[in-house]
Amino acid sequence: MSVLFSENARIVLERRYLKKDSHGNPCETPEQMFERVAEAVAFADTIFDSQADVVKTREKFFKMMTSLWFLPNSPTLMNAGRQLGQLAACFVLPIEDSMEAIFDSLKNTAIIQKSGGGTGFSFSRIRPAHDIVQSTSGVSSGPVSFMAVYDAATETVKQGATRQGANMAVLRVDHPDIEAFINAKNDVNRLNNFNLSVALTQSFLEALEKGKNYNLVNPRTGKPTGEISADKIFDMIVSSAWQTGEPGVIFIDRINESNPAAHLGKIEATNPCGEQPLLAYESCTLGSINLSRMVTGQTIDFPRLKAVVHDAVHFLDNVVEINKYPLKIIEEMSKKTRKIGLGIMGFADMLIRMNIAYDSKEAVDQAQKVMSFIQKESRAASATLAKTRGNFLAYINSIFDSPSTPYMRNATTTTIAPTGSISIIAGTSGGIEPLFAVAHVRRILNGQTLFEMHPIFLEMAHKQNFYSDTLKGEIAAKGSIKNFTAIPEEVRRLFKTTHDIKPEWHIKIQAAFQKFTDNAVSKTINFSSSATVEDVRKAFLLADKSGCKGLTIYRDGSRMDQVLCVGNEKSKTEKIIPRPRPKRTSGFTERIKTGCGNLYVTINSDDSGICEVFGKMGKTGGCASSQIESVGRLISLALRSGVTVDSVIKQLIGIRCPSPAWENGKMVHSCHDAIAQVLKNVVGSNFIEKQSAMGVCPKCSGPLAHEEGCLICHSCGYSRCG
């Protein structure tokens, strides 16, 4: 069976998923990859029934994936049927308050990340900085210092891993070092392999509501070390999130209220994107249903959806069984609870096909309707499996242990996880996020750019006779179509993008899905660059009141802002301070012909965008070389001070000297003009420059988007979270 993939999907598959030969070239087709995965996962049936019809199961799984109705998480696609065989995406490891335990967990982290998994930790058990260490008569350095050690280890391990390592650090709001934790990533050069979440307790939230103080507790002694204002700490969280997008929050007591196996312990941490709360040493197997393929006409095809849910639960339970776990203790714990996380992608596309705007009550109603159906049917499918395979080992004393639920194979069945890469493979919108853009620019290997337009929009544009090649380029330059009056209002209503939608609607959609999700929901609440600190504060409070289990926000362009003062107001006497150049940047060097000879222009980027530009003539020395060096230094200083690349290009483009040259049919007026032309080719459009404030993709230099609690590149499928 041949699957019709988009060009971008095939690039993602070839780069990340398909088996490669000794020269690094793909040695299987996408269809062969699906055959490999289907056969490996179907084989698990024989573990429970030696007479099982494995061929029938394999064909069922193969059809489900090749029809792009359901795709498992990336490790399963990459590793099923291969030697590594590690199929789980997310893990949580404990960190106890001793040097031995801290470094035991660090060793285990390296083993997990080498196998392609992401790791979450609570650092809340580590004694605070300056606390006594009796064994050495010294003092503790505190949890944040150990986070830096874990970050450095991840940076080293990921160089040889199949997927980039990612971590989640959680600290309870009542830990004495909470202020240092909240501010830990305000320096954008620190902890770049970590997401941060503050675990907000119910007692803290009650103190916040009443404007009272709450206790800070030393985890070593279990005794209060003093009181602090809940308002002060919450303002710090909000201000830091407004500034950099970190930390997020998790509502830890709410998470534990729905802990299905509370008798095994309390949940203290989540996986890197926050959607999977796990006990110590648990892992979880994830997969997502493509809702855009579950629509017939303008209605959800519930019979098809039901069949896919049951087949997907069967698939994921088989994955739990055949997975080659990185540690024996993780295998034992994972099989005690057999947690699976069936989620969705393509929700925004589903709404468009159903003629429903994302920011509407109808969308909220559909979110609840479709997710309640998936949850009900996934539990029914799990119960059916339990009748022949047995309940999960920790079923006794779990929340399911009752006469009304005598069978349950999996302690959890639903999770809304990030789908950055697999949604590109499926050709649909990511997770439950709105559209990233109606059209965007994609760079291809020879340096050219392609405009890619949303397929449903393209179909409507042709059908309603408002399509043109000019319009395609103009939309790609903006991303959003909200101000395109030539496009019918009804179409603009349906195709709203992330920044067209008010934050409260983002939260309403997240809360609607959370209501019928066992685990949690991965989503980013996007704010415009003009959003205030108070806007962010309201969002965190609304998430709590709406029943969310956590919240991640990102204010557009916020990582370009320099932290210059304490508090919400900036002094009128502040001066712009360029952000420091990190130790390591990523970039490229391009050769361009000028009248003075070949000019080699190097452009480097950090997590906040392009940070330095410099040039070197083929012939060294002379006045031209010194001028080029000076211009490069000034450009770099401007870019690290928040000046847009477009502004730099505007100042340099067209500057003439007595010796112009021709390059690829275009005149290069001077060395300064050459630098501007290289920058212009990199930026591509105003829209790309706007998005580059979120960071530049390390794989293709495209813009990174903050979605699903992660950094995702829509150009090549890169995901910082794996």
Give me the amino acid identity at 706. Answer: H
Whole-number Å distance between alpha carbons of 676 and 668: 10
Whole-number Å distance between alpha carbons of 201 and 254: 8
Contact 88, 334 (CB under 8 A): yes
Q: Is 609 left (phi over 0), alpha (psi -120 to 50) or beta?
A: left
Those residues with Cβ within 8 angstroms of residue 153's Cβ, 6 or more apart along the chain or in another chain: 106, 109, 110
What number of other Cβ atoms are within 10 A of residue 154's Cβ? 24
Buried b (16+ CB within 10 A) or exposed e, 336-367: bbbbbbbbbbbbbbbbbbbebbbbeeebbebb
- For residue 458, the number of C-alpha atoms closer than 13 Å in the C-beta half-sphere is 12
465 is catalytic: no
Whole-number Å distance between alpha carbons of 689 and 245: 19
DSSP state letters, 84-123: S-----EEEE---SSHHHHHHHHHHHHHHHHTT-EEEEE-
Buried b (16+ CB within 10 A) or exposed e, 214-228: bebbbbbeeeeeeeb
Those residues with Cβ within 8 angstroms of residue 617's Cβ, 6 or more apart along the chain or in another chain: 596, 597, 598, 599, 600, 624, 625, 628, 671
Q: Which structure tokens are listed for 65?
A: 């994936």
3 state SS of 586: strand
Question: Of these residues, 271, 318, 323, 410, which one is catalytic?
Answer: 271
Those residues with Cβ within 8 angstroms of residue 331's Cβ, 6 or more apart along the chain or in another chain: 323, 325
**Whose CA is closest to 132, among 118, 142, 119?**
142
Q: Which residue has the tokens 């965008």?
A: 609
Stretch (H or E) spanning 241? helix 230-244
Question: Of these residues, 90, 273, 671, 710, which one is catalytic?
Answer: 273
Whole-number Å distance between alpha carbons of 392 and 346: 31
Is the alpha carbon torsion for 663, 666, 667, 668 positive or negative?
negative
Question: Of these residues, 35, 275, 282, 590, which one is catalytic?
Answer: 275
697 is catalytic: no
Q: Which structure tokens are listed for 475?
A: 């939309």
The C-alpha torsion from 466 through 467 and 471 to 473, rounded to 10°, is: 170
Those residues with Cβ within 8 angstroms of residue 2's Cβ, 6 or more apart along the chain or in another chain: 31
DSSP state letters, 369-437: HHHHHHHHHHHHHHHHHHHHH---TT-TTSTT-BTTB---S-S--B-B---HHHHHHHTS--TT--BS-
Q: Which structure tokens are listed for 276?
A: 């999977």
Q: Which residue has the tokens 């210059």?
A: 564
Contact 446, 655 (CB under 8 A): no
For residue 69, what is the DSSP state? S
Whole-number Å distance between alpha carbons of 7 and 9: 5
Stretch (H or E) spanning 347? helix 347-353
Those residues with Cβ within 8 angstroms of residue 580's Cβ, 6 or more apart along the chain or in another chain: 189, 640
Q: Which residue has the tokens 């809940």?
A: 230
- Greatest alpha-carbon pair distance for the chain in Å reads 90
Give the angle subtended at the CA of 198 by the CAs of 197 and 201, to the nearest 5°.
135
Whole-number Å distance between alpha carbons of 518 and 416: 9
Alpha carbon 615 to its chain centroid, in Å, reads 35
611 is catalytic: no
**Whose CA is closest to 384, among 332, 310, 330?**
310
Bond into 247 cis (ω within 30): yes
Q: Which residues carry out catalysis?
A: 271, 273, 275
